[in-house]
A and B are shown apart, each in its own frame.
Chain A
Amino acid sequence: MKSVLNYFKEIFSALRSLWGGMRVTGSYFLRPGQIVTQKYPENRKQLKMYDAFKGEVSMPHDENNQHKCTGCGICQINCPNGSIEVISKKITTEDGKTERIIDKHIYHLSMCTFCELCIKTCPSDALAWGQDFEHAVFNKSKLTKQLNQAGSTLKKVVKNNTPANDTIKANSNLENKQTNN
């Protein structure tokens, strides 16, 4: 007799547990306001990425088409995947000095792992994260980008950094020389 009772008890507890699950899904079905997905290309205008968002490595240029990159190559050394190639050239300034400036700062987005080391170690804060995330292209070669714009020049900055940062930069410069040797 007891086993018969247990048999029916089992059935009822089973039905109750099933109903519990159906209540959860049913309640979501009746509340379309809970939908979390978005219509993506339509809401492109409203989409705002977080400030820290790592879209791609970019080199900010100001209104005079000037950037801060000196072409020291520290980013290239620190990049673990060889995503950055710094090609510099020598020019002669008006006062007769020979100076090394950046010719091409090439960035291979296809190889980048977004580890942030280039941006963190850049002694002149020339690199920053870009917010663009629509990277899909049909041709792989389009993922190789030149970060410095055509005709851009180096911005002369007045140095007012904290001493701590200065030591890091000095060390980085040292490292640069060591590796070049």
Chain B
Amino acid sequence: MSFSIYDFTSLTQSVDQALKNSLSPTWALIIEMVIVGLIFLMFYALLGLFLVYAERKICAFIQNRLGPNRVGPLGLFQTIADLIKLLMKELIYIKQADKLLFNLAPFIVIIASFMAIAAIPFAKGLHAIDLNIGIFYIMAVSSLGVVGILLAGWSSNSKYSLIGAMRSGAQIISYELSVGLSLLSIVIFSGTMQISGIVESQADAWWIIKGHIPAIIAFLIFLIASTAETNRGPFDLAEAESELTAGFHTEYSGIKFAFFFLAEYMNMFIVAAIATTVFLGGWMPFHIPGLLSFNTVMDYIPPVVWFMGKTAFIIFIMMWFKWTFPRLRIDQLLKLEWKYLLPLNLINILVIAFVVLMGWYLH
């Protein structure tokens, strides 16, 4: 395997060494954390802006419209203009709101999505932390966002917000199960919870190909459940524009609203990145076992490109069905989880365990 040309491990290690040589270990750690934090912050902001633009353009094309085309070439700077607008807008003061929680909620939401991004490997050696229970960490952290949503709905002291927040709570608690179980099925396949380990295990072929039918079922369930977890359509009950006007963020304005908005898109990116890492081989190139020349050509495409390409593909699918389907009702949403996804998922895990035991997957 010739990943060496795109291996970031030596680079990050040399930076680490240089810092450790010149400073005390504590200071080196702090500086590393600051650097990583800044890089992610930049990445976060840029990606958020780009995803908003992409969503608007994709939905416009689906709906036979041109989409944003005024600011910059092809409307590329539209979201930047929107951001400036949101920054300058008045933050409306809600008299009856619980001020502390009301101001805290957007930060909780955004921090939760910020934490999850740390464990995602963009290329070999290019990740902030590589925990040995990486999958577990991501599952734990990504469900923290609901606390922010619940707080936002509760503290706004608005009836619409409260209904939206309660819906979101019920939704995320139930869909958390399916997300966890579908990720677990790949953990059974690869035998590790460490994310870099899962990616390494897909060097010959991705799990969605190696694991054939059970893996595909797990992938579909993950896609559905994670869309529900990010509160995106057709599961956007917490916002439900035609029912609750804007759900939990009805009372938010200006940059606080922008935080919720940005967090939604970042959650979508994180979910797509997890799906890529776990099911589609992460930064691993596409390999067909046996075709050596084809595989070497694929190896020369940088892993970051592979990773981003696959993530973009999944994000596109999520946008595609958001702009196609009607919204579910709350009881149907719960029925879908408890009556269909969860039993299927449990059976699927049994099947996977059996497949792994018998060695019936490709390897």
Majority secondary structure, A binding face = helix
Q: A18-B325, A35-B61 are in contact. Are A25 and B66 (CB under 8 A)?
A: no
Nearest B residue to A11 via CB reads B340
Please measure, in the bound complex, the distance between the C-alpha atom of A24 and the C-alpha atom of B324, giving whole angstroms: 9
Interface residues in B, total, Cβ within 8 A = 15
Q: A34-B64, A37-B66 are in contact. Are A29 and B58 (CB under 8 A)?
A: yes
CB of B294 within 8 Å of the partner chain = no
Q: Please determine whether A37 and B64 come into contact, CB atoms closer than 8 angstroms.
A: yes
User: Cβ of B63: which chain A residues have Cβ within 8 Å of it?
Assistant: 28
Please measure, in the bound complex, the distance between the C-alpha atom of A26 and the C-alpha atom of B66, giving whole angstroms: 16
User: Cβ of B58: which chain A residues have Cβ within 8 Å of it?
Assistant: 29
Please measure, in the bound complex, the distance between the C-alpha atom of A21 and the C-alpha atom of B340, giving whole angstroms: 21
A-contacting residues, B63-120, CB 8 Å: 63-66, 69
User: Cβ of A24: which chain B residues have Cβ within 8 Å of it?
Assistant: 324
Taken residue by residue from 135 to 176, chain B's Cβ proximity to chain A (1 for < 8 Å, 0 otherwise) reads as: 000000000000000000000000000000000000000000
Q: A11-B340, A26-B320, A35-B61 are in contact. Are A21 and B66 (CB under 8 A)?
A: no
Q: Could you say which of A22, A32, A36, A37 contacts B324, with CB atoms under 8 Å apart?
A: A22
Taken residue by residue from 11 to 55, chain A's Cβ proximity to chain B (1 for < 8 Å, 0 otherwise) reads as: 100000010011011101100101111010000000000000000
User: Cβ of B320: which chain A residues have Cβ within 8 Å of it?
Assistant: 22, 25-26, 29
A-contacting residues, B232-266, CB 8 Å: none
CB of B62 within 8 Å of the partner chain = yes
Q: A11-B340, A22-B320, A39-B69 are in contact. Are A28 and B62 (CB under 8 A)?
A: yes
- The 7 lowest CB-CB distance pairs between A and B, nearest first, are A25-B324, A25-B62, A21-B324, A37-B65, A29-B62, A29-B61, A36-B64
Q: List 23 A-B contacts (CB under 8 A).
A: A11-B340, A11-B344, A18-B324, A21-B324, A21-B325, A22-B320, A25-B320, A25-B323, A25-B324, A26-B62, A28-B61, A28-B62, A28-B64, A29-B58, A29-B62, A29-B320, A32-B61, A34-B64, A35-B65, A35-B66, A36-B65, A37-B65, A39-B69
